[in-house]
Amino acid sequence: MKTVVHVVFHAHLDPIWLWPWTAGVDEALATCRSACERLDANPDAVFTQGEAWVYDVVERCDPALFARIREQVAAGRWDVTGGWWIQPDCNVPGERGFRQQIALGKSYFESRFGCFPEVAFNVDSFGHAATLPQFMSEAGQKYYVMMRPQEHEMKLPARVFRWRGYADGPEILVFRIRSTYVRRELREEHYRDCLADLPGGVNHTMCFAGLGDHGGGPTERLIQQVRAARNAYPDLEIRFSSPARFFAAIEAVRDRLPLVVGELQHHAIGCYTIHRPVKLGCRR
């Protein structure tokens, strides 16, 4: 049986990372405009974008572009993921902050698209607090995509696993991204890199690609590379996909996946997000 590699085209955007907020707005607009153009030109491609903030910026600054996005979403070509207002720090905020983050995003997506994503998406957060599975479950989310801590920072039983923050807490199905959440090129070694640590019985994985670490999305070159690789390998099936499609494909084996209990830590030890005095100060 072939292993299916779900290629996920997306754009990682930090709205205020070492630049003015206006630069983040410009990147959001340029990225979404480019993604629409790529989808218009390539009817088989799929794009994924989370963060309600991005959609809100587009809606307010370029209503025509927002209308194009809604058309692509309705056509099943643009996958709305994540669902929260923004990808947050997942260590410092308290309960109220997390609940508000999710509630704002949920309200926005339900009012604009009539749905709320079942897939939560925090690929650049520096660790993940034990309270998150409860907050996600309460909001109706069943799945989670993360990357940090990476393999050299925390050993996990598999790339795909069931996660509970506490032994008797609710359960979320998690995928940990291999190596990077953006790739400018896609070659055979990149697809095979994403096969590492798959649990037994799972013949699906995800490979994330997109131009740059702060916006851009897929390029024509990346799209052509995926198209050329579709049936290039006897043991792999390469397809345009999304996190929602990936999780739907493995849902049947959920109960056979390994279980992880507790926080997913640590990434970037010494960073303020995991500095205990800062966390205590915020809580006080």
**Cβ–Cβ under 8 Å, residues 173 and 133:** no
Q: Note the pLDDT of residue 95.
A: 93
Q: Note the pLDDT of residue 16.
A: 78
Residues 6+ apart with CB under 8 A from 223: 9, 38, 42, 45
Mean pLDDT of 179-203: 97
What are phi and psi for residue 150, nearest 5 degrees? -90, 180
Q: Note the pLDDT of residue 190.
A: 98
Using the predicted structure, report yes or no on whether residue 125 has a pLDDT greater than 70: yes
The label of the residue with tokens 């992880």 reads 260
120 burial class (0-12, 13-18, 19+ CB within 10 angstroms)? Answer: buried
pTM of the shown model: 0.95
Residue 7 CA: distances (Å) to CA of 178, 197, 246: 12, 17, 10
The label of the residue with tokens 């509630």 reads 103
Using the predicted structure, report yes or no on whether residue 272 has a pLDDT greater than 80: no
Per-residue pLDDT band for 204 (boundaries 50, 70, 90) equals very high
Report d(CA 206, CA 4) in Å as an integer. 8
Tokens at residue 228, please? 């050329």
Give me the chain's average pLDDT, please: 95
Q: Note the pLDDT of residue 64.
A: 98
Q: Note the pLDDT of residue 213.
A: 78
